[in-house]
A and B are shown apart, each in its own frame.
Chain A
Amino acid sequence: AQRVTQPEKLLSVFKGAPVELKCNYSYSGSPELFWYVQYSRQRLQLLLRHISRESIKGFTADLNKGETSFHLKKPFAQEEDSAMYYCAPIHNNDMRFGAGTRLTVKP
């Protein structure tokens, strides 16, 4: 069965510290991978996608096909990064979302 796991429900770091939000997936086939973010009082929005190989707001995500992981990383967290983050693989029109990780960046 298709499954995506974000093992940390809550993650708290201090401003300027590195942050890594973990995502592991179990999919038949090779899914495309996305990270979505929901800031307070805003709608869910795309943060980045693997196919674009991009860095958005200082975040990057590395796909490890061997470990089937797509962890989100940022070397120096900022207070405005506090939000809910969702990992989302998609394959054959079936996009599953992880349960999400709530990141809090403390001053």
Chain B
Amino acid sequence: NAGVTQTPKFRVLKTGQSMTLLCAQDMNHEYMYWYRQDPGMGLRLIHYSVGEGTTAKGEVPDGYNVSRLKKQNFLLGLESAAPSQTSVYFCASSYSGENSPLHFGNGTRLTVT
């Protein structure tokens, strides 16, 4: 039981390049989330999904897109990376909504130069 797995762990991009971060969970969780963590700002919600085929915007969605084609996977895409997107990205999943704790991945450290 791997829990929540994020790939890659590290990535360096040049401004304007694109990439996709993959999050996979093997706990049959309905809800999945993408957060970014920046110094002094805690974790900020980018996008989330309440089930396969559904996505919704969080607090800071601009510059990102997501897809949830399969229940176990939640992809975060950057179409044209900007230095402001340099951050640590965390994926999380939960069984249901408000009373279910989040299970986190180990994070992806992204640097955009």
Minimum CB distance partner of B59 in chain A: A96
Across the interface, do A94 and B101 meet the contact criterion of CB distance under 8 Å?
A: no
Q: In the complex, A2→B104 CA distance in Å?
A: 22
Query: Of B31, B56, B92, B99, which contacts A32 at CB under 8 A?
Result: B99
Across the interface, do A32 and B45 meet the contact criterion of CB distance under 8 Å?
A: no
The range of chain B's interface size is 20 to 34
- Please give the number of chain A residues whose Cβ is less than 8 angstroms from any Cβ of chain B in the complex: 25
- Could you tell me which residues of chain B, from 72 to 113, have a CB within 8 Å of some CB in chain A? 90, 92, 97-99, 101-102, 104-107
Which stretch from B13-21, B33-41, B62-70 is at the chain A interface? B33-41
Shortest A13–chain B CB gap in Å is: 22
B12 within 8 A of partner (CB): no
Across the interface, do A44 and B31 meet the contact criterion of CB distance under 8 Å?
A: no
Across the interface, do A43 and B106 meet the contact criterion of CB distance under 8 Å?
A: yes
With a cutoff of 8 Å between Cβ atoms, the chain A residues found around residue B23 in the complex are none
Across the interface, do B40 and A99 meet the contact criterion of CB distance under 8 Å?
A: yes
With a cutoff of 8 Å between Cβ atoms, the chain B residues found around residue A49 in the complex are 99, 101
Q: In the complex, A92→B56 CA distance in Å?
A: 12
Query: Of A31, A46, A92, A99, which contacts B101 at CB under 8 A?
Result: A46
Across the interface, do B98 and A44 meet the contact criterion of CB distance under 8 Å?
A: no
Closest CB pairs A-B (n = 10): A97-B43, A46-B101, A99-B42, A97-B42, A44-B104, A32-B98, A43-B104, A90-B98, A43-B106, A98-B42
